[in-house]
A and B are shown apart, each in its own frame.
Chain A
């Protein structure tokens, strides 16, 4: 998804209002942006806290900023800068992290993004943008172009096949139908687990419809209630721990309501995964089943 992200960022930056800040990462990915906008890209080096504070500074001067790094580096390492400098001031910074879930399988636990939703969804102004395919990614970047705001864009490390282009208009807590099925029982995914969800559906929930929700977060909770109540049963699937994840967020949305929808969640086992291997190996062993 990284290359498509850069391609769309270039296309969307005709007014040159967007800056790309990288964290000494992005080799063989960010070069086209650098070629096109050499004065709009900066390498912050290996210093995430300064990087995020700087991003806030640039964004506070009527610019949009995209900060590009790997899972934990652009989130946990600079959490207070995100909290105080970006979220507190509601600045248009999109924090981009590559390698969702166990995408960097062989690189080990330091590089696995398993708690990032938990952190990022604790910030009141930040929208979680978690694309599950290329069309969703394009939709999300258009959403941010139209309405720049604090946001967290979680990308798959792998490039996705170019499925048939379909223009998607995505909105907070909006759902997108991937496979038609039962009208009342659905599987709901966020992020890059759509293939995994299709497999689980085939094995266990053949009649269920399959949907994705690419935009969510604290701000979207009220809107999500109206979606949830349309269904009798929702099975969530994500590549993140249950604690602080998407499934638990969905359950929080109906707290203190009379919505009777049954929500069940599938997720990556909540433990320190001191084990390496391919993404497929780790998902099979620790992931949603």
Chain B
């Protein structure tokens, strides 16, 4: 059965490929792994009063592209990605309409999200806070400091999504520094943890809509780095490499076919 989101998934992935090629930029694999998570957030979860922070700021382009789809930014601005003086920095920038917070150095988004959630909670405001972190950020001390604080203060308005694509910058996560058993660790820190297929938009929406009771929610989204392009999937070369014209054309053909 045809996925009702196929058209948007296709458009976003094609834009990511094209703009990365044009800008000769990196992090294509990191962008492709979070496409469905972003669609779930922007098409099924986020309300106007909610906040979303992309903590893995190197996947900025994926966010810019979905902000274009949601009409926060124009096609004229989107086309400036990679050009001198563009506001579309390669690490996500709050100069861009619709971007909540600038990030780029890992381990920063979650503490900021905790601050926002704390402010809303202490003021009896109903706003919810969503933050998307990478599996590499699990290495950061701030992640665990924040989880301790968030669970102690029962921040059930905080939703943490982990893009668990199993590959960090230099190698597979379990080869760099094993983070398993991740769910057990997160639960033991006082979180309510769920695991989903990070490319199933409906599953992500369903979990993100659950209201936890007095616990921060963590969604471990099992994803594939480079998702959608066979030769980019599960290959950390595409954390860095920029596609050449042949690779771009092959990738575009695959995406068009896969999400027809």
Contacts and interface: CB of A to CB of B under 8 A. Distances in A.
A181 interface: no
B111 A52 contact: yes
Interface string A85-115: 1001100000000000000000000000000
Contact of B108 (A47, A53, A59, A61): A53
Contacts of B112: 53-54, 56-57, 60, 85
Contact of A80 (B102, B105, B115, B120): B105
Contact of B142 (A42, A50, A55, A61): A50
Nearest to B91: A84
> In which size bucket is the chain B interface?
20 to 34
B118 A49 contact: no
A47 B119 contact: no
Contacts of A19: 119, 122
A49 B146 CA distance: 9
Nearest to B115: A57
Contact of B148 (A47, A49, A56, A85): A47
Contacts of B107: 49
A47 B145 contact: yes
B108 A57 contact: no
B102 A84 contact: yes
B153 to A, nearest CB: 8
Interface in B185-219: none
A49 B106 CA distance: 12
Interface in B110-141: 110-120, 122, 141
A163 to B, nearest CB: 37
Interface in B130-170: 141-142, 145-146, 148-149, 153
Given A88-B102, A89-B94, A49 B116 contact: no
A50 B149 contact: yes
Interface string A54-86: 111111110100000000000000001100110
Contact of B149 (A40, A54, A84, A85): A54
Nearest to A49: B142
Interface in B57-112: 94, 101-105, 107-108, 110-112
A235 to B, nearest CB: 41
Interface in A240-274: none
A251 to B, nearest CB: 32
B226 to A, nearest CB: 28
Contact of A89 (B102, B148, B149): B102
A234 B66 CA distance: 57
B108 A81 contact: yes
A55 B112 CA distance: 7
Central interface residue in B101, B111, B115, B148, by most chain A CB within 10 Å: B115
A84 to B, nearest CB: 6
Nearest to B131: A57
A59 to B, nearest CB: 8
B148 A58 contact: no
B101 A58 contact: no
A143 to B, nearest CB: 24
Given A53-B146, A54-B112, A85-B112, A42 B105 contact: no
Contact of A39 (B105, B117, B122): B122
Nearest to B57: A84
Interface string A10-50: 00000000010000000000000000000110101101011
Nearest to A50: B145
B111 A58 contact: no
A63 B121 CA distance: 13
A262 B113 CA distance: 49
A57 B149 contact: no
Contacts of B94: 89
A76 B118 CA distance: 25
Shortest 9 CB-CB distances between A and B: which pairs?
A57-B115, A53-B111, A54-B115, A50-B145, A47-B145, A57-B112, A57-B116, A58-B115, A61-B119
Given A45-B145, A51-B111, A53-B115, 18 more contacts: A19-B119, A42-B118, A45-B148, A49-B145, A50-B114, A50-B142, A52-B111, A53-B111, A53-B142, A56-B112, A58-B115, A58-B116, A60-B112, A60-B116, A61-B119, A63-B119, A81-B108, A89-B94
18 contacts: A39-B122, A45-B145, A45-B148, A47-B149, A49-B142, A53-B112, A53-B114, A53-B142, A54-B115, A55-B115, A57-B111, A58-B115, A58-B116, A60-B115, A60-B116, A81-B108, A84-B105, A85-B108
Interface of B: 94, 101-105, 107-108, 110-120, 122, 141-142, 145-146, 148-149, 153
